[in-house]
Amino acid sequence: MDRILVIVRHGQSEWNSRNLFTGWKNPDLSPLGVDESRRAGRELKKLDLYFNIAFTSVLLRAQHTLDLIIDELGQTDVPTIRDRALNERHYGDLSGLNKDEAREQWGEEQVRLWRRSYDVAPPGGESLKDTVGRVLPFYCQRILPRAMRGERVLVSAHGNSLRALAMVLDQLTPEAVAGLEIATGVPIVYRLAADSTVASKLVLGG
């Protein structure tokens, strides 16, 4: 039984390229993001993986990334579940602001706390802890059972929703996950053991 789970952060978005806080705003991929997504598909194709199910958020950049990956795989018939539980962290009042301008307005240390701490939320937004609170139940109830049945599962989501998953998969503490960066368009292939822990992990390219 395979128990394969692949997670991919969406390719660079138009707002990533402009250094803007994005959160639940809905820009599409940049040209570089399209290239990154297609490259992710080609890297996965080298492993000759066939996916039984795909999950993504309700945001365009993650959905577009998934579409490009499965197009490269030649598996455009893969059933896909879209759910807001996998959305990026909500950045509240920071959404749409330039990160450098935010530092000028609130100070380097305050913005660093909002971006990198585990439990400090920006005004009107979510902390990483809040994001974990919605991502992990969805993982346990909807994603993990499919993988444990031996299905090959592909998840296209966002930096912070995937950091939430990594807390469980890689058994990270809140302190450790604060320093975790997940690169855009780089698939991470997990093979799960019978007890749902990680038997092996492979980062493709990056």
| Contacts for 154 with CB less than 8 Å, ≥ 6 apart | 6, 8, 51, 53, 54, 55, 66, 69, 70, 78
Q: 88, 90, 126, 158: which one is catalytic?
A: 88
Residue 90 catalytic? no
The DSSP secondary-structure symbol of 75 reads: -
Residue type, 129: K
* Joined tokens for residue 202: 């492979």
- Rounded to whole angstroms, the maximal C-alpha distance in the chain is 53
User: Residues 43, 171, 108, CA angle at the centre, nearest 5°?
Assistant: 85
Closest CA to 150 of 193, 106, 115: 193
Active site residue 158: no
**Catalytically annotated residues:** 10, 88
